[in-house]
Amino acid sequence: MYLLADANLPELDSLVAVVARQSGIALQLERFGGRLPSAEQLARAEAMFIRSVTKVDAQLLAQAPKLRWLGSATIGTDHVDQAAVQAAGLSFHSTPGVNANAVGDYVASAAAALALQRGGLPEGEVAIVGAGNTGRAAGQRLAGLGLSVHYYDPPLLEQGSSTLAVHDDWQRVLNSQMISCHVPLQREGPHPTWHMFDAEALAQLAPGTWLINASRGPVIAEQALLNRLQQQSDLDVVLDVWEHEPQISAALLPYLQLATPHIAGHSLAGKLGGSWQLLNKWLTDQQLSLQLPSLATLLGRYPQGQIQGLRADKAPDWQQLAHWILRCYDIRKDDAALRAVPCTPAEFDALRAQYAVRSELNQLHLSTGDWADSVAWQQRLAQLTFQTATQEE
């Protein structure tokens, strides 16, 4: 069987080798670089493992007559034409939640960097726009920093089945001192997210508002944002995603506090988890009951997967928490890397393809004193996903 996979899905080769050895099935895995496989690769593919950069539509599927299975190592699915996939008779899977921790860490790192730069954390409310996996992960970490977090999610509110308190008060979002976007891209329907932050919404943001987008680029109207910042450069904006990827706005870049090349979810655990989850889904569809190496085993093969140990003799202030977050993942390095290259699609894709995947906050182990015994600190450290042990232990 011929399997085709994005070159940036780590350990898929070793996992496929395990499957071939245990099952006795002849499996051939070929990788493709860039955004799209070649026509020759598509013609041979029986199963394909992709990421969000590969756009799957009827035109691509027409080049893959043998394809019967498609998997995307992503939360979002807007890069896949669901109607075309269904018409082609494919089994399709995504991996919701696979990089939620990484995106939550990204937002926490952005908040830590901005707070150190501005001399303090936001005193007003923090709005999480979209209470899915990544939104909850981001909100959890921001609450651990000591911020007052609320969740805007009208579709989830209508379902009425969430254990998380959500609301549909858009004005409350616009009045918040910090806003972090975590919604899928929806152009139509009762709750569209395309240009959710248009000129009208952006005009209502108070000076000093922190605006972070780690969801989909077109959620923020890029030209409207540029116009606002050119007229009033009074917002602290962090963009990981761009409306016209892989082309980023050279005009907008100088006005942003932090800018990165769509890597919010690119932790080592997130990328390994994508490979591992997709292959498990493929095994299930093939009715193969095999035992893959655990994610912990895979993580242990990499320096980024190792535990980081710190000692904390006294309760940390917000500055210390910020420095710990940046020790695990420092968003400022990714910002510097993006600004150091020309604003071209080739450079954007190169930064993503050559990205040195990072650790996650849950790999930070704190050796603490009695201060961490309080319920409040236990809750905050758990929200930040730090692992703790008393110094006596």
93, 262, 266, 358: the catalytic one is 262
- Please name every residue paired with 5 in a beta bridge, in sequence order, or none if there are none: 31, 49
Catalytic residue (choose from 216, 228, 352, 358): 216
Sole residue written with tokens 């035109």: 59
Rounded to the nearest angstrom, the gap between the alpha carbon of residue 195 and the centroid of all alpha carbons in its chain is 20
Phi, psi of 354 (to 5 degrees): -100, 15
Tell me, letter by letter, the H, E, C secondary structure of 161-184.
Answer: CCCCCEECCHHHHHCCCEEEECCC
State the amino acid at position 372 in one-letter form: A
Asked if 352 is an active-site residue, the reply is no
Q: Which listed residue (222, 243, 245, 360) is catalytic?
A: 245
- Does 245 qualify as catalytic in the annotation? yes
For CA atoms 208, 214, 218, 219, give the dihedral sign. negative
Q: What angle do CA 101, 264, 310 make, to 5 degrees?
A: 55
Q: Is the peptide bond before 155 cis (omega within 30 degrees of 0)?
A: no
* 105 neighbors 267 (Cβ within 8 angstroms): yes
Provide the token pair at 302. Answer: 């990499």
Q: How many CB atoms lie within 10 A of CB 301?
A: 13
Is 312:367 a contact under the CB 8 Å cutoff? yes
Residue 373 is given by DSSP the state G
Beta carbons within 10 angstroms of residue 106's beta carbon: 31
For residues 323-348, b (16+ Cβ closer than 10 Å) or e, as one string?
ebbbebbbbbebbebbeeeebeeebb
Active site amino acids = 216, 245, 262
